[in-house]
Structure 1
Amino acid sequence: MQYVTKIISMMIFPHFTFLFMPQTAHPDGIPVPQRYGAIVAIALGITVAVLDGAIANVALPTIARELHASPAESIWIVNAYQLAIIVSLLSLSFLGDIVGYRRVYQWGLLLFCFTSLFCALSDSLGMLAFARVLQGFGGASLMSVNSALIRIIYPQRYLGRGMGINSLIVAVSTAAGPTVAAAVLSVASWKWLFFINVPVCLAALALALRFLPDNAQKARGQKFDTLSAIMNALTFGLLISALSGFAQGQSGKIILAELVALLVIGTLFIRRQLKMPIPLLPIDLLRIPIFTLSLCTSVCSFCAQMLAMVSLPFFLQNVAGRDEVATGLLLTPWPLATMVMAPIAGQLIERVHAGLLGGIGLAMFAAGLFALAWLPAAPGDMDIIWRMILCGAGFGLFQSPNNHTIVTSAPRHRSGGASGMLGTARLLGQTSGAALVALMFNLFNEHGTHASLLLAGVFSSAAAIVSTSRMTQPKHTAE
């Protein structure tokens, strides 16, 4: 990797190659100003990876029309990217523990750059879907080790702030997706949604080569388990397929076949992991109570988030009579409140137990969700806005401390596995939430949004209880 990236950096930045010397990890973070450069490298990479998960949604009708595809077929442009991420995230985080988080992140940037160009140059749906699968692997490389990198970049006493910044980046990127897509499409072809990734990735790669530190501790002597990686991909792929199929009313025979295959492969996969000293699926980390409780909290909270964010536009447009622009504006206070609260929560974690912060945040989140569920049929803008702010502020207060706990409760040399589990929990929660929205609309028709919001409130309330229970666990960092 170092030879490839050095050659590329010399070609792109011929007068500054003296800068591209790798940083070594320090016992407790890396010094300023290197720390700032490393954080910008991570911020740019995570921004494009998260942004590309949503940016194509707005352009789907245009892409489908230009590539002569049906609306149903065009959904693969989105699904191919998300599915590639979720089936490869844990494998890449495991690889990071072995070869180094810095190396996995740099390869991810390189792959994301070239596959973005591949997406932009695609002239058929099949070609674009294949390019999106490869781009998803690049995005997974970035998402799988970003939290692990933050752990070795920041001094322990400031780690909460680093996690807060990371949560802020994810929130901003998620919120900006539709806006960025609309802005690009107003002046250029859909291909520029992917072209714009190239200079961002090159800039991030330049910073990553210069500032990202390498692992001080690696899984020495551990070999990458290809069979486990395949079984992991099949397990999560079958799980997501079965969930989506059930929610969409797919044939019962197909769903049953997927569940049987999931049960067989999943059982064999877990049994294999239990025999390994350092498993690809970090089951051993689940023996740490606060780690497991935090993961459960994360899955429930992101499931609740997606139940609300996917179902609310239907209420705002079909019931409340808002148009697409007004709907987008009314949804914006949620991520804005998360943006404000996430860095604050990141600093509070240095003084307050994450279980308490998470419990308070999730209780606020649940209150906002239940308040949204009981909106009047003709709500005013402020009726909607204050509820959105309550949801976003509660979610922001919970997310940073929870991420901090997941990463720091694992031993330092297993930070990659913990980072991968964090990302997997988020994606699993989001995918399950989106599937449950489809199920609620199939079961309750025009009351689907109401049912989705009530279910989201239940999930958030359960997560608040689980989060509060973590206060019985010691506030410590595993080494």
Structure 2
Amino acid sequence: MTKDNYKWIALSCTTIGALFSVLSGSTLMIALPVIMKDLNASMSVVTWTLMGYMLAMTILVPSIGRMADMVGRKKLYVSGFAIFTFASLLCAMSHTGMQLLIYRMVQAVGGSLMVANSTAIVADAFSKKELGKALGINSMIISIASIAGPILGGFLITIGWRSIFYINIPIGIIGTLWAAFQLKESSVLSDNKKFDLKGTLTFTAGMLALLVALSFGGFVGWINITVIGLIIASIILLWMFVRIENSTEEPMLDLRLLKTRVLAFAYASNLLNGIARGAVTFLLIFYFQGIKGIDPIVAGMLLAPFAISMMIVSPISGYLSDKYGARILSSVGLLVSAFGLLGMMFITADTSTAELVIWMLIMGFGSGMFFSPNTSAIMGMVPANKRGVAAGVRTMATNAGNVLSIAISMAIISSSISPEAMQALFVGTQVGSEGIAIGQFVSGLRIAFTISFIFSVIAAIISYMRGSEPEWKEEAA
């Protein structure tokens, strides 16, 4: 097998994994009301079925990235595919909401193993000059899955919600076998096989405390004693983590990644873009169902313009970043997203769906311009034996931004909507404005979109302020 053939095979393996995991999440969103009713599950269990998966992915990915640099990406990626597939079978056979939640956490382990390694596998296979194009194709497939998910979910619900998980099994078996037989193990692995257990434990505990606090803050209020206690605990634990990493020979997270200007600013813009974009689709689902009275499945489909414009732009921006660099493309992409958010800031109860579609297309266009070049810049700046950690930190930054974005939005929206209506809208069991103070709700949406706009502009400025490429010592060889 030539290197030229292998790079496309590697991309096909990671693309199947991306398609697999995104489809699973977006189809599940549509099915939650049916699952809640059928399993007689509580609101908290249903909420954690979504949020718990996101939190687990955020926490696990950096540690898995470090493990991949030590033991190899192929082993962990194939294992992740197999675990995700097996967990899908368990989810399909769940008899209670708690069982489903537990099995979704098992899925999150498999998903983390795939996500943490997929970008690094592509970076290993492609030269730096072609990396943007490859990552752009990967982003395009993810966008297609985002469009297809709600439509497929709506169709599968008519068969039965368990079919949403059963359909994962043949895809998972094919993907696992394809990756197992076709992927090669990277020859550039970290020489030191010592695992940083202290750093991993303090990081996991600190991030868990922080993300749980941010998640609950939007629901129970920011001055709740538990939320405050968790935030204080997270600050202490993450401070300890930094101290440990700076004194460890082979740390879980090489903090030199954050000391290099170009990487630090690329990661920061990733985090800020997550905060700006993370809650937008979440808020629009509320708006379409609660204000416009649109059916949950149709509301999910109305979010397709985001993904459609991302799907078109991602491979183009990836290709252009290989030729002209990531700095300008990423920064302009964030400004285009900010322009879309500027339009959303003037939303009213009477805003037409057509107008919202235009703003969504603009935001998706900007996101497509940002993601592929920014990811290519991060992966192209690190030596081969640091790619697992680099990819893990990028994913963590994005997910942490998304969680924070949803938490901020929940805090704003909760002041204008009754808890019962919020819960019903959250799982799609309410259509219409009963229990919603429409004027306050729309005002809350405007504030949330204004905050997103500000974060997007800051992200664009930081993205533009990157420095020169880092110089690594012996690892660069």
Q: What TM-score, normalized by structure 2, do the two folds share? A: 0.89
* CA distance in structure 2 between the partners assigned to 1:235 and 1:263 by the alignment: 7
In the other structure, the counterpart of 1:171 is 143
Q: SS of 1:201's equivalent?
A: helix
Q: For the structure 1 residues 476 and 457, does the alpha-carbon distance in structure 2 shift closer, same or farther, using more than 3 Å as the test?
A: farther
Q: SS of 1:213's equivalent?
A: coil
**1:76–1:129 Cα contact (<8 Å) kept:** yes
Aligned partner (choices 247, 251, 274) of residue 218 of structure 2 = 247
**1:40–1:207 Cα contact (<8 Å) kept:** no
Aligned partner (choices 444, 456, 460) of residue 460 of structure 1 = 456
In the other structure, the counterpart of 1:353 is 325
Code of the residue aligned with 1:119 in structure 2: it is: C
Aligned partner (choices 402, 406, 415) of residue 430 of structure 1 = 402
Q: SS of 2:185's equivalent?
A: coil
* Greater Cα shift, 460-469 or 323-332: 323-332
Shift of residue 322, structure 1, vs aligned partner: 4.3
**1:357–1:397 Cα contact (<8 Å) kept:** yes
Does residue 79 of structure 1 match 2:51? yes
**1:164–1:343 Cα contact (<8 Å) kept:** yes
Aligned partner (choices 293, 311, 327) of residue 299 of structure 2 = 327
Shift of residue 365, structure 1, vs aligned partner: 0.7
Does residue 123 of structure 1 match 2:85? no
**1:53–1:82 Cα contact (<8 Å) kept:** no
Unpaired runs of 5+ residues, structure 2, are 417-439
Q: How does 1:210-225 map to 2 (within 5 A)?
A: 210-225=181-196
**2:189–2:384 Cα contact (<8 Å) kept:** no
**1:159–1:404 Cα contact (<8 Å) kept:** yes
* CA distance in structure 1 between the partners assigned to 2:25 and 2:256 by the alignment: 30
**2:154–2:297 Cα contact (<8 Å) kept:** no
Does residue 204 of structure 1 match 2:175? yes
Higher relative contact order (CA 8 A, sep 6+): 2
Shift of residue 443, structure 1, vs aligned partner: 4.5
Q: For the structure 1 residues 128 and 321, does the alpha-carbon distance in structure 2 shift closer, same or farther, using more than 3 Å as the test?
A: closer
* CA distance in structure 1 between the partners assigned to 2:68 and 2:361 by the alignment: 37
Does residue 414 of structure 1 match 2:386? yes
Code of the residue aligned with 1:215 in structure 2: it is: S
In the other structure, the counterpart of 2:12 is 40
Q: For the structure 1 residues 125 and 307, does the alpha-carbon distance in structure 2 shift closer, same or farther, using more than 3 Å as the test?
A: closer
Does residue 364 of structure 1 match 2:336? yes
* CA distance in structure 1 between the partners assigned to 2:97 and 2:394 by the alignment: 32
Does residue 448 of structure 1 match 2:448? no
* Greater Cα shift, 234-243 or 434-443: 434-443
**2:337–2:365 Cα contact (<8 Å) kept:** yes
Aligned length, in residue pairs: 449
Does residue 105 of structure 1 match 2:101? no
* CA distance in structure 1 between the partners assigned to 2:264 and 2:102 by the alignment: 35
Identity of counterpart residues, as a percentage? Answer: 25
**1:119–1:132 Cα contact (<8 Å) kept:** yes
* Greater Cα shift, 139-148 or 236-245: 236-245
* Greater Cα shift, 134-143 or 217-226: 217-226
* CA distance in structure 1 between the partners assigned to 2:460 and 2:194 by the alignment: 39
**1:56–1:77 Cα contact (<8 Å) kept:** no
**Residues 229-275 of structure 1: per-residue CA shift (max 9 Å, x gap):** 22222111111111122222346211122122212222222211111
Aligned partner (choices 94, 104, 128) of residue 66 of structure 2 = 94
* Greater Cα shift, 52-61 or 154-163: 52-61
Shift of residue 339, structure 1, vs aligned partner: 0.5
* CA distance in structure 2 between the partners assigned to 1:122 and 1:375 by the alignment: 41
Shift of residue 379, structure 1, vs aligned partner: 2.8
Code of the residue aligned with 2:69 in structure 1: it is: D
Shift of residue 321, structure 1, vs aligned partner: 5.1
**Residues 150-194 of structure 1: per-residue CA shift (max 9 Å, x gap):** 1111122211111111222332333333222112112x2211111
Q: For the structure 1 residues 82 and 474, does the alpha-carbon distance in structure 2 shift closer, same or farther, using more than 3 Å as the test?
A: closer
Q: How does 1:216-295 map to 2 (within 5 A)?
A: 216-250=187-221, 252-295=224-267
**2:58–2:399 Cα contact (<8 Å) kept:** yes
Shift of residue 376, structure 1, vs aligned partner: 4.9
Code of the residue aligned with 1:44 in structure 2: it is: I
Q: For the structure 1 residues 475 and 94, does the alpha-carbon distance in structure 2 shift closer, same or farther, using more than 3 Å as the test?
A: closer
Code of the residue aligned with 1:114 in structure 2: it is: F
Code of the residue aligned with 2:201 in structure 1: it is: I
Q: What TM-score, normalized by structure 1, do the two folds share? A: 0.89
Q: For the structure 1 residues 211 and 269, does the alpha-carbon distance in structure 2 shift closer, same or farther, using more than 3 Å as the test?
A: same
Does residue 144 of structure 1 match 2:144? no
Q: For the structure 1 residues 459 and 101, does the alpha-carbon distance in structure 2 shift closer, same or farther, using more than 3 Å as the test?
A: same
Q: SS of 1:75's equivalent?
A: helix
**Residues 263-293 of structure 1: per-residue CA shift (max 9 Å, x gap):** 2222222211111233212312111111110
**1:61–1:71 Cα contact (<8 Å) kept:** no
Shift of residue 418, structure 1, vs aligned partner: 0.4
**2:340–2:363 Cα contact (<8 Å) kept:** yes
Q: For the structure 1 residues 58 and 310, does the alpha-carbon distance in structure 2 shift closer, same or farther, using more than 3 Å as the test?
A: same
Does residue 132 of structure 1 match 2:104? yes
**1:81–1:132 Cα contact (<8 Å) kept:** yes
Could you say what the CA RMSD is over the residues aligned between the two structures, in angstroms?
2.1
Code of the residue aligned with 2:259 in structure 1: it is: R
Q: For the structure 1 residues 59 and 382, does the alpha-carbon distance in structure 2 shift closer, same or farther, using more than 3 Å as the test?
A: closer
**2:132–2:319 Cα contact (<8 Å) kept:** yes
Does residue 400 of structure 1 match 2:372? yes
In the other structure, the counterpart of 2:126 is 154
* CA distance in structure 2 between the partners assigned to 1:245 and 1:222 by the alignment: 38
* CA distance in structure 1 between the partners assigned to 2:199 and 2:254 by the alignment: 12
Q: SS of 2:160's equivalent?
A: coil
Shift of residue 211, structure 1, vs aligned partner: 2.1
**2:151–2:297 Cα contact (<8 Å) kept:** no
Code of the residue aligned with 2:455 in structure 1: it is: F
Q: For the structure 1 residues 174 and 326, does the alpha-carbon distance in structure 2 shift closer, same or farther, using more than 3 Å as the test?
A: closer
